[in-house]
Structure 1
């Protein structure tokens, strides 16, 4: 009976294998569902990753400023002296009077990605700004480069004028009308290329003279005399008032100079007006005996006017870092940039605040003498 029951199971075991086959078939169907879910999750993850990378590579409306290279105004660039003078005796100079530069990415110079902007924001040597703060809306790369080149040319001419004035070397300086916008206070009264002779009887050879006379008149009509192709023309102009409360003639002016000798500045691929002060110091050192720097490594930045006033520039934090990386130990900064200087000075760099070329020259000469420079004016948070 035991055996029978033991042998009985032919029908039972048959059912057993049948149930077993169903069980075996059920197992692979569950694995395939898991595989499908895993594949879907993998594809979704890859898509999310791809979208993430795509988002990170998308351009953002920001501009990144980074430290650029420095150029020694007393040295050479591509085998050519940065400053060359003909018609006047020159003197070899040692040391460095470095002009500083900034790389600008974004805007018309090409897109900046989220990653690049965030990385720059984390860097102490870079700065990130909204695009509209740096570039006018719609400006093209070509327009930006042209404007930068014009500013560089103007800064070089102003540098020569300020250097010669600092050295007491006479030269001819005039103010020429570059453009007369339609509808301005001067439209129909003066013309493009007219040379200003006087305003209310005062020689109009500098922008400061014109601004002072307009301010003193408080909006009253002024008598302007211009030279037009050799003929004297007099015009009575009622200045207009800007939103800032200043009175203007409503013309675009440019300086025209006639120097007693030629100064050529050779520096490719660098634009803008901020090298004016360092060009002026380089010219002073080139045409005077001795060594202005005493072999020291000096760098700086700042616009300059023909009368030697030093004006503010952009990217000064990046320029200080670039100067220090280039080996400078003394940096000349425009007084108007002091707010951006404080808290951003790299280790090993002494920053001196200057307002005009005479102060900048004095600072360099003091450093060259080996004397204590700690008494020189500095930027403060007060």
Structure 2
């Protein structure tokens, strides 16, 4: 506060120890009480702010950036093909992301959760629904990187299979499920050679044979430590009503040319389908999109099956905000799509890479896209 100078020759009694007390200005009534109240209020405010900054066991999910699989991430091309002719493509095939606030990497605060509660474009989840208890930040990063690497390999395989370009896929047993019908017959490290006499060149071969057999015993041939072993396994049904051998399989691919995918600071498997679409477009003359702006999400298997992902409501918002007019959504996510589609965005339901390719080609050729499958309440 600024004060006026004292009149010439006068003395400010508050500055002079031997001044006459009677000349000092009177203190306001209850001044000490007011000071205590002010100090108490400031302390309460400080405690409140401190408490609000403490981590809470929630995760806030919001729309993240999008990346054009036909374009660049910084100064690097997202998809680079060497050893085979490729074709620069125009338009956008955007993969979509979400930003997660909370969990082991970046704990959420009360402020974060309160702001998200006021913002309908964001979602709030209990932390244990997203991250298993005890998961560390390092484990989260590592799991995301592994999932991303696997999705990229599957994307290359799915794209080549879509284009009928041959490659080699070896399926190796990585473990057995609980109460597996293959227990005692198939071991970790076994490479599947054939089933019912059909060479195992992909997962779909196994699924087709088991489905055709409708639960009948299957003849399974594996390679184990350089030797061929033949076993008979009676499949069981899983929770999806499919016949299975009860084995966990890992894939090892040998491709006829190199496909490199460069994308920093993005983890997880949900970009698989869009990577595969970008590879298909890059290996095909012309522009699949016709210069249009398409976005999407979904996991991909080497056989081209599109799987469910998380955060699709936020991803649709991110897609629309970055200019997309069509969004490709996994059929398995339809329950999360209905009622959350942003204005101006057409959402197409896809189950396979072939479905996604058909939708993009129809849009790119200027044909009517209103008949493409969409998510409904039914």
Report the TM-score when normalising by structure 1. 0.83
Decide which moves more: 153-162 or 37-46. Answer: 37-46
| Structure 1 unaligned regions, length at least 5 | 1-23
- Note the 1:30-179 alignment, pairs <5 A: 31=29, 34-179=30-175
> Does the CA contact (< 8 Å) of 2:192 and 2:222 recur in 1?
yes
Partner SS for 2:104 = helix
Partner SS for 1:149 = helix
Of structures 1 and 2, the larger Rg is shown by 1
Query: Whole-Å Cα distance in 2 between the matches of residues 138 and 316 of structure 1?
Result: 26
Query: Whole-Å Cα distance in 2 between the matches of residues 198 and 111 of structure 1?
Result: 48
Query: Whole-Å Cα distance in 2 between the matches of residues 364 and 183 of structure 1?
Result: 43
Query: Whole-Å Cα distance in 1 between the matches of residues 164 and 207 of structure 2?
Result: 25
- What is residue 360 of structure 1 aligned with on the other side? 356
Partner SS for 1:156 = helix
- Seen in structure 2, the aligned counterparts of structure 1 residues 380 and 221 have a Cα distance that, compared at 3 Å, is closer
C-alpha displacement of 1:175: 1.2
> Does the CA contact (< 8 Å) of 2:270 and 2:309 recur in 1?
yes
Q: 2:338 aligns with which of 335, 342, 349?
A: 342
C-alpha displacement of 1:347: 2.2
Partner SS for 2:349 = strand
CA offset digits 1:185-244 (Å, max 9, x no partner): 656544433211234544444435545666787887654321124321234556678788
- What is residue 371 of structure 1 aligned with on the other side? 367
Q: 2:259 aligns with which of 257, 263, 274?
A: 263
- Seen in structure 2, the aligned counterparts of structure 1 residues 353 and 237 have a Cα distance that, compared at 3 Å, is closer
> Does the CA contact (< 8 Å) of 2:168 and 2:201 recur in 1?
no
C-alpha displacement of 1:281: 0.8
> Does the CA contact (< 8 Å) of 1:196 and 1:205 recur in 2?
no
- Seen in structure 2, the aligned counterparts of structure 1 residues 366 and 230 have a Cα distance that, compared at 3 Å, is same
- What is residue 8 of structure 1 aligned with on the other side? none
Q: Is 1:380 equivalent to 2:376 in the alignment?
A: yes
- What is residue 12 of structure 1 aligned with on the other side? none
- What is residue 323 of structure 1 aligned with on the other side? 319
> Does the CA contact (< 8 Å) of 2:82 and 2:259 recur in 1?
yes
- What is residue 5 of structure 1 aligned with on the other side? none
Decide which moves more: 242-251 or 83-92. Answer: 242-251
Q: Is 1:288 equivalent to 2:255 in the alignment?
A: no
Decide which moves more: 166-175 or 330-339. Answer: 166-175
Count of residues in correspondence between the two structures: 354
C-alpha displacement of 1:252: 2.5
CA offset digits 1:100-139 (Å, max 9, x no partner): 1111121112210111012112212211111111111111
- What is residue 6 of structure 1 aligned with on the other side? none
> Does the CA contact (< 8 Å) of 2:204 and 2:303 recur in 1?
no
- What is residue 8 of structure 2 aligned with on the other side? none
State the superposition RMSD in angstroms: 2.8
Partner SS for 2:188 = coil
> Does the CA contact (< 8 Å) of 1:95 and 1:293 recur in 2?
yes
Partner SS for 1:107 = coil
Q: Is 1:232 equivalent to 2:233 in the alignment?
A: no
Decide which moves more: 41-50 or 52-61. Answer: 41-50
Query: Whole-Å Cα distance in 1 between the matches of residues 154 and 253 of structure 2?
Result: 9
Query: Whole-Å Cα distance in 1 between the matches of residues 313 and 178 of structure 2?
Result: 40
C-alpha displacement of 1:82: 0.9
C-alpha displacement of 1:55: 2.3
